[in-house]
């Protein structure tokens, strides 16, 4: 989809459809809407008077222009109450309208800068929200479908703005939106692939492509190197699979110093069967998405390399399958992590925290000022927060706050969970330093505390995305399947840390 900003009068713009907006309870039609209303012989004002158009959030009224305008169709999109407008509502509205128009085979869409200026929202922010809403909302994953889709694709989206002085801001927002949404759909594509198309080796290919395309350093540790480094926890998980494990490192250097300002760690279990502690077969296929953390981190690096913030970032992605087999890890086995802690295995299905243990060990060995890890870690987090909210855990309140703020800006909902010391009791082992599950109670918290053991005193935040990485029903600008959460949060976080 080609996206552009242009100066002009949208009522005179030629497109398959133009989108104009109305706030709920608006007393009169805005400039553009009034001009279009006149051209359409007052049909819009009549529909408003009749109560058909109310301006409610998400309301779409499609009107055929019947040659009275250069455009074939007009959509009046409701933005809800003006005082309650947010950039995230704009993302959702644009996604819904664009999908409705795509279903009608619309190829070119023009829109006003929806709601810009209202509620203190800038033109730049609005352009970014429009672009993200359109790209993310129109996303489809059809790589393995050989038959033609029922509808075409939207080819052109144009933001039409009357006032020349707003154009630079709109263009800036457009560019940011394209980078952020582009990275998000890169993550979605990886997560939507089934595990036979997204093995650890395939993840290496994806990371290498990002490194190549955007100029990042990439390094991949093979099993032998992991052995040399003593990554016993990761290797324990990998030993049941025929796919070789891969330990992927990406580096972005945005400022002239050796220090690593932040390390992003992403869990990449390319399929989680549970191992010997086998999962029930119903919905096991969802576990193709157990590499969502790794995918998000790789995609985030792609965006960072394009936005070029002045900060040094390392990404660490431990990648392996978790399968049962003659050589697989077994309950009661004891593993030794890279930094020497011994781990009693209670359940081979609590594998994410094991690979994270060695990934955090690696990050700390290389010296990093902060760590943020992203993982589809626990079913307990899904029980607690559903598919709406990502669980946030951390040992450093300032960093926790920065992550949550970055999430709010992205429209990716986050909520902090407690990690009080009392919960550590549940992770105590009588035969090793720690055990890999802490029982049913507070399962997301004890998992986070396990990971936190390997963060030591490095400022650290853990994001449990087990509920938010995939959805089974389209919701605003997230379509059924992979969501690409929390790519935009991570990018915002890194950019904001660089600004400090």
CA torsion angle for 396, 397, 398, 402 (degrees, to 10)?
Answer: 100
For Zn ion, the closer of residues 445 and 491 by Cβ is: 445
CA distances to 275, 417, 474 from 107, in Å? 47, 45, 22
Sign of the alpha-carbon torsion through 49, 8, 177, 416? negative
Q: What minimum distance in Å lies between the beta carbon of 296 and Mn ion?
A: 18
Q: What minimum distance in Å lies between the beta carbon of 376 and ligand BES?
A: 4
Out of ligand BES, Zn ion, Mn ion, none, what residue 380 binds, judged by CB under 5 to 8 A for its kind, is ligand BES
* Whole-angstrom distance, CA of residue 258 vs CA of residue 329: 38
**Catalytic position from the list 253, 279, 369, 424:** 279
* Whole-angstrom distance, CA of residue 369 vs CA of residue 218: 20
Out of Zn ion, Mn ion, ligand BES, none, what residue 363 binds, judged by CB under 5 to 8 A for its kind, is none
Q: Verify binding: residue 464, Mn ion, rule CB under 5 A.
A: no
Q: What minimum distance in Å lies between the beta carbon of 106 and ligand BES?
A: 36
**Catalytic position from the list 102, 267, 353, 476:** 353
The pair of structure tokens assigned to 135 is 């790209």
Q: Would you list the DSSP string of 304-358?
A: HHHH--SSEEEEEEEEEEE--STT---TT-EEE-TTS-EEE-S-TT--HHHHHHH
CA torsion angle for 17, 21, 24, 26 (degrees, to 10)?
Answer: -120
CB within 8 A of 400, min separation 6: which ones? 392, 394, 416, 461
CA distances to 7, 63, 187, 307 from 158, in Å? 10, 19, 26, 23
Q: Which of 124, 132, 189, 349 binds Mn ion (CB under 5 A)?
A: 349
Out of Mn ion, Zn ion, ligand BES, none, what residue 437 binds, judged by CB under 5 to 8 A for its kind, is ligand BES
Span interacting with Mn ion, options 16-24, 190-198, 342-350, 420-428, rule CB under 5 A: 342-350
200-229: contacts with Mn ion (CB under 5 A): none
Helical pair 487-498 and 167-192, crossing angle rounded to 10 deg: 130
For ligand BES, the closer of residues 96 and 443 by Cβ is: 443
* Whole-angstrom distance, CA of residue 458 vs CA of residue 261: 11
Q: What minimum distance in Å lies between the beta carbon of 221 and Zn ion?
A: 21
Q: What minimum distance in Å lies between the beta carbon of 486 and ligand BES?
A: 15
Q: How many CB atoms lie within 10 A of CB 331?
A: 15
Closest CA to 36 of 94, 99, 91, 110: 110
The binding site for ligand BES (CB under 6 A) comprises: 272, 290, 347, 349-352, 376-380, 382, 437, 443, 466
For Mn ion, the closer of residues 274 and 481 by Cβ is: 274
Q: Would you list the DSSP string of 133-193?
A: HHHHHT----TT--SPPSS----EEEEEES-GGGHHHHHHHHHHHHHHHHHHHHHHHHHHS
Q: What minimum distance in Å lies between the beta carbon of 437 and ligand BES?
A: 4
* Whole-angstrom distance, CA of residue 478 vs CA of residue 92: 9
Q: What minimum distance in Å lies between the beta carbon of 245 and ligand BES?
A: 16
For Zn ion, the closer of residues 77 and 377 by Cβ is: 377
For Zn ion, the closer of residues 352 and 459 by Cβ is: 352
Q: What minimum distance in Å lies between the beta carbon of 256 and Mn ion?
A: 42
For ligand BES, the closer of residues 17 and 377 by Cβ is: 377
Q: Verify binding: residue 32, Mn ion, rule CB under 5 A.
A: no
- Per-residue binding string, Mn ion, 253-292, x by CB under 5 A, is -------------------x--------------------
Q: Verify binding: residue 352, Zn ion, rule CB under 5 A.
A: yes
* Whole-angstrom distance, CA of residue 344 vs CA of residue 359: 18
How many chain residues touch Zn ion (CB under 5 A)?
A: 4
For Mn ion, the closer of residues 329 and 449 by Cβ is: 329
The DSSP letter of residue 250 is E
Q: Would you list the DSSP string of 24-48?
A: TT-SS--HHHHHHHHHTTTHHHHHH
188 is annotated as an active-site residue = no
CA distances to 140, 142, 367 from 145, in Å? 11, 5, 45
426-455: contacts with Mn ion (CB under 5 A): none
Span interacting with Mn ion, options 100-108, 349-357, 401-409, 485-493, rule CB under 5 A: 349-357
Closest CA to 418 of 435, 393, 388: 393
How many chain residues touch Mn ion (CB under 5 A)?
A: 3
For ligand BES, the closer of residues 91 and 267 by Cβ is: 267
The pair of structure tokens assigned to 254 is 């945005």
99 is annotated as an active-site residue = no
256-295: contacts with Zn ion (CB under 5 A): 269, 272, 290
The pair of structure tokens assigned to 500 is 């400090």
Q: What minimum distance in Å lies between the beta carbon of 443 and Zn ion?
A: 13
CA distances to 1, 119, 159, 313, 422 from 178, in Å? 10, 24, 14, 21, 45
Out of ligand BES, Mn ion, Zn ion, none, what residue 200 binds, judged by CB under 5 to 8 A for its kind, is none
For Zn ion, the closer of residues 124 and 290 by Cβ is: 290
Out of ligand BES, Zn ion, Mn ion, none, what residue 426 binds, judged by CB under 5 to 8 A for its kind, is none
Chain-centroid distance, C-alpha 163: 33
- Per-residue binding string, Mn ion, 103-142, x by CB under 5 A, is ----------------------------------------
Please give the residue whose beta carbon sits closest to ligand BES in the complex: 379
Which residues of the shown chain bind Zn ion in the complex (CB under 5 A)? 269, 272, 290, 352
Which residues of the shown chain bind Mn ion in the complex (CB under 5 A)? 272, 349, 351
Catalytic residues: 279, 353
């Amino acid at each position: 989809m080609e996206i552009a900003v242009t100066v002009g009068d949208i009522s005179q713009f030629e497109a398959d459809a133009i989108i104009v907006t109305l706030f709920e309870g608006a007393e009169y039609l805005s400039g553009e809407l009034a001009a279009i209303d006149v051209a359409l012989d007052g049909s819009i004002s009549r529909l408003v008077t009749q109560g058909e158009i109310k301006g409610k959030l998400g309301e779409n009224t499609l009107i055929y222009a019947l040659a009275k305008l250069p455009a074939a169709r007009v959509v009046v999109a409701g933005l809800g109450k003006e005082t309650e407008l947010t950039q995230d509502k704009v993302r959702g509205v644009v996604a819904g309208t664009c999908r409705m128009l795509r279903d009608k085979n619309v190829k070119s869409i023009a829109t006003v800068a929806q709601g810009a200026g209202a509620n203190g929202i800038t033109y730049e922010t609005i352009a970014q929200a429009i672009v993200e809403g359109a790209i993310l909302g129109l996303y489809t994953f059809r790589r393995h479908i050989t038959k033609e889709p029922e509808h075409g694709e939207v080819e052109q989206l144009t933001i039409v703005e009357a006032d020349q002085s707003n154009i630079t801001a709109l263009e800036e927002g457009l560019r940011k939106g394209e980078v952020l949404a582009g990275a998000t759909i890169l993550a979605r594509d990886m997560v939507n692939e089934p595990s036979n198309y997204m093995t650890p080796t395939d993840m290496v290919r994806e990371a290498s492509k990002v490194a190549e395309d955007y100029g990042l350093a990439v390094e991949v540790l093979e099993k032998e190197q992991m052995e040399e480094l003593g990554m016993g926890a990761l290797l324990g998980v990998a030993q049941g699979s025929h796919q070789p494990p891969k330990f992927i490192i990406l580096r972005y250097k945005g400022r002239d110093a050796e220090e690593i300002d932040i390390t992003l760690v992403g869990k990449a279990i390319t399929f989680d069967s549970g191992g010997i502690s086998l999962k029930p077969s119903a919905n096991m296929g969802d576990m193709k998405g157990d590499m969502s953390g790794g995918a998000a981190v790789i995609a985030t690096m792609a965006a960072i390399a394009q936005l070029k913030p002045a900060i040094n970032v390392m990404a660490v992605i431990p990648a392996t399958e978790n399968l049962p087999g003659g050589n697989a890890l077994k309950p009661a086995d004891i593993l030794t992590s890279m930094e020497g802690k011994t781990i009693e295995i209670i359940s081979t299905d609590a594998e994410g925290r094991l690979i994270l243990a060695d990934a955090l060990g690696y990050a700390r060995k290389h010296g990093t000022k902060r760590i943020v890890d992203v993982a589809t870690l626990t079913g307990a987090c899904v029980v607690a927060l559903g598919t709406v909210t990502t669980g946030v855990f951390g040992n450093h309140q300032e960093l926790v706050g920065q992550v949550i703020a970055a999430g709010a800006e992205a429209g990716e909902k986050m909520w902090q969970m407690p990690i009080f010391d009392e919960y550590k009791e549940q992770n105590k082992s009588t035969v090793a330093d720690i055990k890999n599950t802490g029982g049913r109670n507070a399962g997301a918290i004890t998992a986070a505390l396990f990971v936190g053991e390997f963060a030591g005193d490095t400022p650290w935040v853990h994001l449990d995305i087990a509920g938010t990485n995939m959805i089974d029903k389209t919701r605003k600008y997230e379509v059924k399947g992979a969501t690409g959460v929390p790519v935009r949060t991570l990018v915002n976080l890194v950019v904001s840390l660089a600004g400090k």
